[in-house]
Copies of this chain bind each other. A is one copy, B any other.
């Protein structure tokens, strides 16, 4: 089951010809979730060959322009291209007014069902759920109300050992029970213990998106042991004072959070435009947390299982 994070934009503040501001597309089990939507995101989707109508849910972390100015354009393009499936947008309450005001002045009545879900960025709570995944908010500490998003798979059922079960005459209604841990008794009365029939479920995987925020240690229990963590690192460590003042983090702070939370892998991004070479940021972060990588527009991170806690 696919679980990938596609970086559409990784810059802070302003778009440049090389790096776009923040947007990420999460593909979990062929369902597409967009996190943040800077100006130009719809073109980044085209550039990297994603079909924008496949996005069902959009999550906006906060209302700084470099995280949402592309949203109204994306919503409009979906409309102009004749979308018919539902779109769900999650974000701070004021975002709803911004969207509806712009639709109103253009006398646009969307041709598809549109649902806005106001989120409370101060709470850690589940805001979306399906049979395989939950998405919850992670309260962050930025200049305006901001939250991250935690994508966590649900524990799956035990997996059948096909070479064994195929040889047995198991009634179809028994499979669900066996996958849930039950033993099986055949018509001759022979009992097969569950561990003969099944393997452990797939290990669960999780992705935490934390941007924008200053260093906030209280998120550590929330993101404990996640498989993949994206944490903003706007500045290098020599500008730690500036970072704190502007409610942003440094490379070392992002890496420290990763280390304390015991995550498997860290991606840093949202670099200030003052830094031309992300390699320097990478080296600094790796000095604290070795398994760091850098978000670059167009790159893809596969979410691998959580480390054993």
Interface residues of A in 32-86 (CB under 8 A from B): 39-40, 42-43, 46-47, 63-65, 69-70, 72-73, 76-77, 80-81
Complex alpha-carbon distance, A294 and B92, angstroms = 43
Contact B40 A17 (CB under 8 A): no
CB distance from A146 to the nearest CB of B (A): 11
Residue of B nearest to A74 (CB): B39
CB distance from A124 to the nearest CB of B (A): 23
Partner of A81, one of B14, B40, B70, B106: B14
CB distance from A182 to the nearest CB of B (A): 53
Q: A39-B70, A69-B72, A80-B13 are in contact. Are A94 and B105 (CB under 8 A)?
A: yes
Number of identical monomers bound together in the oligomeric complex: 2
Q: Chain B contacts of A94 at CB under 8 A? A: 101, 105
Contact B39 A15 (CB under 8 A): no
Residue of B nearest to A77 (CB): B14
Complex alpha-carbon distance, A106 and B62, angstroms = 8
Q: How many residues in A have their beta carbons less than 8 Å from beta carbons of B?
A: 34
Complex alpha-carbon distance, A69 and B37, angstroms = 13
Contact B80 A14 (CB under 8 A): yes
Q: Chain B contacts of A16 at CB under 8 A? A: 43, 46
Residue of B nearest to A78 (CB): B14
Contact B39 A73 (CB under 8 A): yes
Residue of B nearest to A104 (CB): B94
Residue of B nearest to A40 (CB): B40
* Residue A176 interfacial (CB < 8 Å): no
Contact B144 A107 (CB under 8 A): yes
Contact A43 B40 (CB under 8 A): yes
* Residue A88 interfacial (CB < 8 Å): no
Q: Chain B contacts of A76 at CB under 8 A? A: 14, 65, 69
* Residue A238 interfacial (CB < 8 Å): no
Contact A73 B69 (CB under 8 A): yes
Complex alpha-carbon distance, A181 and B102, angstroms = 53
Complex alpha-carbon distance, A77 and B81, angstroms = 29
Contact B105 A144 (CB under 8 A): yes
- Encoded as 1 (CB less than 8 Å from any B CB) or 0, chain A from 104 to 140 comes to 0111000000000000000000000000000000000
* Residue A185 interfacial (CB < 8 Å): no
Q: Chain B contacts of A63 at CB under 8 A? A: 102, 105-106
Q: Chain B contacts of A39 at CB under 8 A? A: 39-40, 42, 69-70, 73
Contact A65 B69 (CB under 8 A): no
The list of the 8 closest CB pairs from A to B, nearest first, reads: A39-B73, A63-B105, A94-B105, A65-B76, A69-B73, A14-B77, A64-B106, A13-B80
A sample of 13 inter-chain contacts (CB < 8 A) reads A13-B80, A14-B42, A14-B76, A14-B81, A15-B43, A16-B46, A17-B46, A65-B76, A69-B73, A69-B76, A97-B101, A98-B98, A98-B101
Extra inter-chain contacts (8) besides given A16-B46, A98-B101, CB under 8 Å? A14-B77, A17-B47, A63-B106, A65-B106, A69-B76, A94-B105, A98-B102, A105-B144
